[in-house]
């Protein structure tokens, strides 16, 4: 992955040299960026810091009654509150638990297990939002995504490119 990040940074720099100062936004993890052999040729950088407790509370207050259950839970669950300090995770929590009580077990469970439960709930909610718009059931979509993940794992791929799909990914008999 480090080689791919370095190649991506080089390609972005080449793109900037070829086209001049076109508007461009790049998002990445800070430590990964610092490890690049060559920096991106950008004019500015923004480092997203963890949210302060007051910012989290303001966000949840502004959500009104639909986020009250989440707000109550975060007040009493330090581990979940720590997870909510990341802006992305707070947004995921809000979408997963709007208009609902939060039912993430507390106690001995690791934060990774709780995060997994959170994302399962988020995926369920997102499928429910789009249920009328799709031709596939959530179970079918999850089945195909699971199959794709297995194929990628067998080929040691962590990034999906449509052009990487090959006939040998399919079973011998259909």
Q: How many Å apart are CA 19 and CA 139, to the nearest integer?
A: 45
Determine, yes or no, domain membership for 103.
yes
Expressed as residue numbers, the domain containing 25 is: 2-34
Shared-domain flag, residues 24 and 69 = no
Query: What tokens were used for 95?
Result: 């979408």
Residue 99 — φ and ψ, nearest 5°? Answer: 60, 25
Determine, yes or no, domain membership for 162.
no
- The set of long-range contacts for 98-106, using a CB threshold of 8 Å and a minimum separation of 24, is 98/63, 98/66, 98/67, 98/70, 99/65, 99/66, 99/69, 100/69, 101/69, 101/73, 102/69, 102/70, 102/73, 104/73, 104/77, 104/80, 106/77, 106/79
- Per DSSP, the three-state class of 136 is coil
Determine, yes or no, domain membership for 168.
no
* pLDDT digit string, tens, across residues 91-113: 999 999 888 776 665 665 677 88
pLDDT score at 67 = 94
Determine, yes or no, domain membership for 111.
yes
pLDDT score at 49 = 92
Shared-domain flag, residues 81 and 120 = yes
* pLDDT digit string, tens, across residues 44-90: 888 889 999 999 999 999 999 999 989 988 998 888 899 999 999 99
Domain count, the chain: 2
pLDDT score at 105 = 59
Q: How many Å apart are CA 132 and CA 170, to the nearest integer?
A: 30
Dihedral angle computed from the Cα positions of residues 115, 116, 119 and 121, in that order, rounded to the nearest 10 degrees: -110
Determine, yes or no, domain membership for 72.
yes
Shared-domain flag, residues 86 and 118 = yes
pTM, rounded to two decimals? 0.67
pLDDT score at 68 = 92
């Amino acid at each position: 992955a480090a080689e791919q990040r370095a190649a991506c940074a080089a390609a972005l720099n080449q793109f900037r040299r070829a086209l001049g100062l076109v508007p461009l936004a790049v998002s990445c993890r800070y430590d990964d960026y610092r490890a690049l052999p060559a920096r991106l040729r950008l004019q500015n950088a923004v480092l997203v810091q963890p949210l302060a407790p007051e910012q989290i509370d303001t966000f949840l207050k502004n959500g009104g009654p639909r986020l009250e259950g989440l707000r109550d839970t975060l007040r009493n669950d330090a581990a979940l509150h720590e997870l909510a300090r990341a802006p992305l995770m707070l947004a995921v929590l809000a979408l997963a638990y709007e208009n609902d009580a939060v039912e993430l077990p507390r106690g001995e469970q690791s934060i990774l297990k709780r995060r997994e439960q959170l994302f399962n709930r988020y995926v369920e909610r997102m499928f429910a939002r789009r249920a009328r718009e799709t031709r596939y059931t959530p179970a079918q979509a999850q089945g195909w995504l699971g199959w794709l993940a297995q194929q990628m794992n067998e080929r040691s791929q962590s990034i999906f490119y449509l052009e990487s799909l090959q006939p040998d990914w399919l079973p011998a008999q259909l």
